[in-house]
Amino acid sequence: MTETAPRPTLEAVAARAGVSRATVSRVVNGGDGVRERLVERVRKAVDELGYVPNQAARSLVTRRHDAVAVIVAEPETRVFADPFFALQLRGISKELTAHDNQLVLLLTEGRDDHARVARYLAGGHVDGALVFSLHLDDPLPGLIQSAGVPTVFGGRPGWSGETRGVVYVDVDNRGGARDAVRHLTGLGRTRIAHIAGALDQTSAVDRLDGYRDVMVDADPRLIAEGDFTPAGGERAMRELLERCPDVDAVFAANDLTAAGALRVLREAGRRVPDDVAVIGFDDMLPVAEQTDPALTTVRQDIEEMGRLMARLLLRELDRRPSDEPVAPAPSSVVLPTTLVRRASA
Amino acid sequence: MTETAPRPTLEAVAARAGVSRATVSRVVNGGDGVRERLVERVRKAVDELGYVPNQAARSLVTRRHDAVAVIVAEPETRVFADPFFALQLRGISKELTAHDNQLVLLLTEGRDDHARVARYLAGGHVDGALVFSLHLDDPLPGLIQSAGVPTVFGGRPGWSGETRGVVYVDVDNRGGARDAVRHLTGLGRTRIAHIAGALDQTSAVDRLDGYRDVMVDADPRLIAEGDFTPAGGERAMRELLERCPDVDAVFAANDLTAAGALRVLREAGRRVPDDVAVIGFDDMLPVAEQTDPALTTVRQDIEEMGRLMARLLLRELDRRPSDEPVAPAPSSVVLPTTLVRRASA
DNA sequence: GTGAAAGCGCTAACAA
DNA sequence: TTGTTAGCGCTTTCAC
């Protein structure tokens, strides 16, 4: 089969360029403080030999890996129902790539995997971790914290433990929800319902809070709990229709939920937006643009969220080595949302 | 900030257990040929110290990394439009995890990234690669091939170069398409159209071929090209309706396409399945179950595809080290499909 | 069955 | 500015 070509080492390059290993190392790592002539000679040798540094050897001494773990607790999340996950990953990947870091993906399925993840992090294979901490009282954040690895969370972690020093990136779920509901009131709607997401996730809780901010004295029967899925949206919409037949608007916790609600409304013969106005959240294009009617929704820039998470982490990693941190510790970031008007409200 | 606890080394464990480093190493790596008493003592020391092997040091000598790259060429694919990607990753992740391998994710955005990927693979950071080669004459497979890294492809690579020794996992696109079309003929339909996917992907080509297998003398006007998106499905359906108003069935290249087609049919006042029967491909639950009417479709097990890719690769990796391969080289696998009957056909 | 010792390829003091 | 040298933590012959 393929001959396993013995990869050239620093030694080989040094020999070919007629310099010491140290000099080659310097050149390979930026070339500062090496005379131009030598730099060129070394570069040439590197090219001719097709030298690529052995990352394992390098890590062994530098204790850096230029690798970041992305941890996704998945089975219970909507990760596999919409493109959320992929977009976030794309943002992360772009940013990491731009800084020559690798992305190690850790998908976890329940408790069994937590130990594995903890071990992996404690094993010092990666320089930091990006974590999607999607559920209240998920033990994962605690485990990670105790592994002592710099970490940035995606979404405000709903975590009852120590929160100082916890860095996260989130969108302004509460503000976005307020905007959505205000838009509905601006339309003259008064019986505005909310279909919440899975309330063990902070995003769902925050959106509900935003709804309440505007609908201070809302009829509690106007609030139904969904689970971020179309099926959940359908169920909740049926409940609402039964409990409050006079409902004239719905703010759904996300686009998928809204899609389910739209279907039930159509079945029930309610016209959208004439009889009932509907707003979603996410602006998941494949969903929001395809519903009938097209969905008015609150847009969040998911890819940017991912990119930002990576950026904060990398900044922290750059900061750490020097015992006297020059740069300030990164703090959490909350991204704005924008209302996208389409046909449904 | 957090005290960087100095991680215990083999040396430390050896000292604590009162044995040599070599013995600890043996125990950590399975413990064969070490007396039971000592094994226990070492295990105890490992636990007490919380010892975790340093992977970099290990890799340096073993030249194994227990890591696999997953390479996804993405911007041009449907990767970010449906849960395909996530499901595939899940399958891969499960299998890799079960064999203590890490998943390094490489997302590429066009040509610029190819060099980076090639360099990464050539750099010997990973033991093998899983590649989603989605387009005809994508240069990536060639680059990867020449990096000399064991590789398994997801989907039959539509690659004009050397194909001997190329291992891939695919579903029986052609057979599934045949089943779908036969189902439609069995329903008594005669004017059966096909909305193809993006024909620069083998899956689209194979599904079209399957359609042709059954509709040998099909009116060429019954074939329209889509692009695996709902918008493409809509466009193609409009064309079809115009060209062939007598169409009484549609086999769409995937569920998303079918969803678009359904919408256009509804607009056009055609009843589904009474006037026009529709079949999709994928059985992407969030899509297929949510269309109106629910979609009859060809199911493929995407997660299993991912799992299988990983399994084939790991098998190959196990095979390689011994110069005299005992196990036969893995060969490609084509998974079966099943027709899922719902309401649309 | 166990230990001693020789590296794996690289970086980082320190010397020159 | 460049070279010399000492490890980083681990596996793996090779003796015992």
Proportion of chain B above pLDDT 70, given as a percent: 92
Q: What is the mean pLDDT of residues A41-69?
A: 93
Give the distance from residue B132's alpha carbon to the nearest chain A alpha carbon, in angstroms. 15
Query: Straight-line distance from CA B172 to C1' C5, in Å?
Result: 56
Please indicate whether residue B281 or residue B87 has the higher confidence score (pLDDT).
Answer: B281
Q: C-alpha distances in angstroms, B197 versus B78, B83, B228, B258?
A: 11, 17, 5, 11
Q: Give the confidence band of A186 by pLDDT, cuts at 50, 70, 90.
A: very high
pLDDT at A322: 52
Contact of A291 with chain B, judged by CB distance below 8 Å, is answered with: no
pLDDT digits (tens, 9 = 90+) for A269-318: 999 999 999 999 999 887 888 788 999 999 999 999 999 999 999 999 98
Task: Check: CB of residue B252 under 8 Å from CB of residue B261.
Answer: yes
Give the distance from residue A216's alpha carbon to the nearest chain B alpha carbon, in angstroms.
Answer: 34
Distance CA A268, CA B27 (A): 67
DSSP reduced 3-state for A80: helix
* Helix intervals (H) in B165-226: 173-186, 202-214
Instruction: Give the Cα separation of A201 and B137 in Å (integer).
Output: 44
Which carries the bigger pLDDT value, residue A338 or residue B8?
A338
Q: Mean pLDDT lowest for which of A28-32, A81-85, B28-32?
A: A81-85
B17 touches strand D (CB under 7 A): no
Strand B296-299, strand B151-154: pairing: unpaired
Mean pLDDT across the stretch B270-282?
97
Q: Is B110 helix (H, G, I), strand (E, B) or coil?
A: coil
Contact B80 A57 (CB under 8 A): no
The verdict on a CB contact (< 8 Å) between B290 and A53 is no
| Residue B316 near residue B330 (C-beta atoms within 8 A) | yes
Is B17's CB less than 7 Å from nucleic acid strand C?
Answer: no
Whole-angstrom distance, CA of residue B52 vs CA of residue B159: 43
Residue at shortest CA–C1' distance from D2: A23
Which bases of chain C are contacted by protein, using any atom under 7 A from a CB? Answer: 1-5, 7-13
A76-85, A161-170, B183-192, B194-203: the lowest-pLDDT one = A76-85
Average pLDDT across chain A, whole number: 89
CB contact under 8 A, B123 and A74: no
- Residue A216 has a pLDDT of 95
Asked if B46 and B28 touch (Cβ cutoff 8 Å), the reply is: yes
CA distance A275 to chain B (A): 21
Most confident of A20-29, A170-179, B15-24: A170-179
Give the whole-number percent of chain B exceeding pLDDT 90.
68
Asked whether the predicted pLDDT for residue B340 surpasses 60, the reply is: yes
Name the band, by pLDDT with cuts 50, 70 and 90, for residue B2: very low
What mean pLDDT is predicted for residues A40-51? 92
Strand C reaches within 7 A of the B56 CB: no
Res. A190: pLDDT tops 80: yes
Looking at residue B82, its pLDDT comes to 65
Within 7 Å of a protein beta carbon, the nucleotides of strand D are 1-5, 7-13
Q: What is the dihedral of CA B278, B282, B286, B287, to 10 degrees?
A: -30
Percentage of chain A beyond pLDDT 70 is 92
A124 contacts chain B (CB < 8 A) = yes
What pLDDT score does A3 carry? 43
Q: Rounded distance, CA A52 to CA A47, Å?
A: 9
Is the CB of B64 within 7 Å of strand D? no
- Band of the pLDDT at B293, cuts 50, 70, 90? very high
Closest CA–CA distance from residue A128 to any residue of chain B (Å): 13
- With the C-alpha atoms ordered B212, B216, B217, B218, is the resulting torsion angle positive or negative? negative
Contact check, Cβ <8 Å, B80/A102: no
A41 touches strand D (CB under 7 A): no
Residue nearest to nucleotide C5 (CA to C1'): B22
Rounded Cα distance between B135 and B77, Å, is: 9
Q: Is residue A321 within 8 angstroms of chain B, CB to CB? A: no
Whole-number Å distance between alpha carbons of B313 and B35: 35
CB contacts under 8 A, A 60-79 vs B, are: 60, 65, 67, 70, 74, 79
Q: How far is residue B137 CA from its own chain's centroid?
A: 19
Q: Average pLDDT, stretch A184-195?
A: 97
Residue A76 or residue A48, greater confidence: A48
Tens digit of each residue's pLDDT (9 = 90 or more) over B101-143: 999 999 988 777 888 888 888 888 899 999 987 777 788 888 8
Residue A1 has pLDDT above 50, yes or no: no
Min mean pLDDT across A129-143, B214-228, B326-340 is at A129-143
Average pLDDT of every residue of chain B: 89
- pLDDT band at residue A141 using 50, 70 and 90 as cut-offs: confident
B58 touches strand D (CB under 7 A): yes
Is the distance between the Cβ of B9 and the closest atom of strand D smaller than 7 Å?
Answer: yes
Does the beta carbon of A56 lie under 8 angstroms from any beta carbon of chain B? yes
Pairing label, strands A167-171, A192-196: unpaired
Quickly state the pLDDT bin for B291 (edges 50, 70, 90): confident
pLDDT of residue A276: 98
pLDDT at B27: 94
CB atoms within 10 A of CB B29: 11
Radius of gyration in angstroms for the set of CA atoms belonging to chain A, rounded to a whole number: 26
pLDDT at B3: 43
CB of B316 within 8 A of CB of B152?
A: yes
Range of weakest confidence among A9-13, A79-83, B331-335: A79-83
Nearest C-alpha of chain A: how many angstroms from B242? 22
**Any chain B CB within 8 A of the CB of A109?**
yes
| H or E element at residue B287 | helix B285-288
Domains and CATH numbers, chain A: 10-53 (1.10.260.40), 67-171+304-335 (3.40.50.2300), 173-300 (3.40.50.2300)
Nearest to A154 by CA among A143, A162, A140, B135: A140
pTM here is: 0.91
Contact B74/A94, CB-based, under 8 Å?
no
Chain A residues lying within 8 Å of B60, measured CB to CB: 54, 56-57, 60
CA→C1' distance for A57 and D14 (Å): 25
Q: Can you give the distance from the CA of residue A161 to the C1' of nucleotide D15 in angstroms?
A: 55
Residue B255 is predicted with a pLDDT of 93
Q: Which of A179-183, B217-221, B323-327 has the lowest mean pLDDT?
A: B323-327
Are A102 and B103 a contacting pair at CB < 8 A? no
Dihedral sign for Cα atoms in the order A245, A250, A255, A257:
negative
Among B105, B293, B22, B313, residue whose Cα is nearest residue A107: B105
The residue type found at B297 is T
Nucleotide minimizing C1' to CA distance for residue B60: C8
* Interatomic CA distance for residues A125 and A104, integer angstroms: 10
